[in-house]
């Protein structure tokens, strides 16, 4: 495939706001996981972003105020990102900059609160509940477009935990079709009762901070966050200096089970293989693999099987969810920004919280920071229902 330039990017998670804070936390091996204290739920640990509740949206319709959009606003408020988008808007025209974002929760927390305060007689939610600007899956791209002054086409992608990774693919299709000249791509997902209690009901919440790839791993820690990247055709805007290039992708839908991965990893293997083919790369040309690595017994075993079947033990890999928790539909964009941070700074972080790597694993699992030049990173996202997406990023 013809590479696309990432000319700006921003990220927000439990370990910090912006690329510099993120790099500092990754290199210091400082986790953002804390005991869960969200909405009266005390099961396990969460990657909760501080001060979301106190963040005020400005310059947009007041109905957009919800936790998911507040996370998105905190992420895109980074000055470098705002300036880059403004420059692209001026160069191409606001109607030629699209917004393609992934989310699995949207503003569902607002609907939960509305349900809890609904009229006991009529069943109606309070008049202050604005469903279309909060819970609606289309709320996020509408909000971000309004926040950034963009008037191009909008798309919301909800592919479970692969949502914001898959958003890259749909953004590329729009650029190839000529529907736009640049795309703000990414996503956001926020803590809510449904996901915390839903994963708990499946027995997937770890009592301790998640420890992907550990022999004693026992589940996930749910996180939240947001991130955005500005995608453009290489060389289309002469003043733009790319941070990185997006050079390959692979997608698959194996449909093995609604909530359990295929133990033979056929969909994961297909996505990773397709990404290599599209990038025109051999397996040994990948410097690091950012695993989906949720910390559940079956997911980590499946992904190890997939990685070793294509890469053997030659390529270092790890999961970064020990820092952020599993940020669900936002994990793809957050970890894409992590990949860019790693390539620019020259390091890859080993898994956090791992005492002993599962001895049955055959891939090269890192448990400490490895300082080395990093030119190409593959980042995986595998979601419920067998939706799989692998992205390959390359340093400039």
Residue positions annotated with a catalytic role: 161, 292, 326
Query: Which residue from 81, 329, 306 is spatially nearest to 225, judged by alpha carbons?
Result: 329
Query: Which residue from 194, 225, 161 is spatially nearest to 382, judged by alpha carbons?
Result: 161
* CA separation for the pair 68, 65 (Å, rounded): 8
* CA separation for the pair 11, 255 (Å, rounded): 31
3-state secondary structure of 330: helix
Distances, alpha carbon 136 to alpha carbons 4, 60, 108, 341, in Å: 30, 17, 8, 32
3-state secondary structure of 59: coil
* CA separation for the pair 60, 57 (Å, rounded): 7
Hunting for tokens 């293989």 — which residue is that?
Answer: 273
- The DSSP output letter for 350 is P
């Amino acid at each position: 495939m013809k590479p696309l330039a990432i000319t700006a990017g921003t990220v927000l998670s439990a370990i910090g706001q912006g690329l510099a804070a993120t790099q500092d936390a990754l290199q210091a091996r400082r986790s953002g996981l804390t005991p869960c204290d969200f909405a009266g739920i005390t099961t396990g640990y969460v990657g909760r972003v501080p001060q979301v509740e106190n963040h005020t949206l400005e310059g947009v319709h007041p109905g957009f105020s919800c936790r998911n959009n507040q996370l998105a606003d905190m992420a895109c408020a980074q000055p470098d990102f705002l300036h880059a988008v403004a420059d692209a808007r001026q160069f191409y025209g606001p109607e030629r900059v699209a917004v393609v974002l992934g989310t699995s929760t949207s503003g569902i927390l607002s609907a939960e609160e509305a349900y809890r305060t609904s009229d006991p007689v009529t069943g109606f939610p309070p008049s202050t509940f604005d469903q279309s600007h909060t819970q609606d899956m289309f709320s996020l791209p509408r909000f971000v477009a309004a926040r950034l002054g963009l008037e191009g086409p909008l798309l919301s992608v909800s592919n479970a935990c692969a949502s914001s990774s898959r958003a890259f693919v749909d953004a590329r299709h729009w650029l190839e079709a000529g529907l736009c000249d640049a795309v703000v791509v990414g996503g956001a997902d926020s803590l809510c009762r449904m996901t915390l209690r839903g994963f708990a009901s499946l027995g997937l919440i770890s009592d301790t901070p998640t420890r992907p790839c550990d022999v004693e791993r026992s589940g996930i820690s749910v996180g939240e966050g947001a991130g955005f990247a500005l995608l453009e055709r290489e060389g289309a805007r002469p003043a733009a200096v790319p941070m990185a290039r997006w050079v390959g992708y692979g997608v698959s839908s194996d449909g093995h089970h609604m909530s359990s991965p295929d133990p033979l990893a056929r969909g994961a293997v297909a996505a990773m293989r397709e990404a290599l083919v599209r990038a025109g790369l051999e397996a040994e040309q990948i410097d690091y693999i950012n695993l989906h690595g949720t910390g559940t017994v079956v997911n980590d075993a499946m992904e190890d099987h997939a990685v070793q079947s294509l890469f053997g033990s030659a390529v270092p890999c790890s999961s970064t969810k020990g820092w952020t928790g599993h940020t669900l539909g936002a994990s793809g964009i957050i970890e894409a920004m992590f990949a860019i941070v790693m390539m620019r700074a020259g390091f890859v972080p080993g898994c956090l919280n791992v005492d002993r790597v599962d001895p049955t694993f055959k891939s090269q699992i890192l448990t400490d920071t490895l300082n080395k030049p990093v030119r190409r990173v593959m980042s995986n996202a595998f979601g419920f229902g067998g939706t799989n997406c692998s992205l390959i990023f390359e340093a400039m």
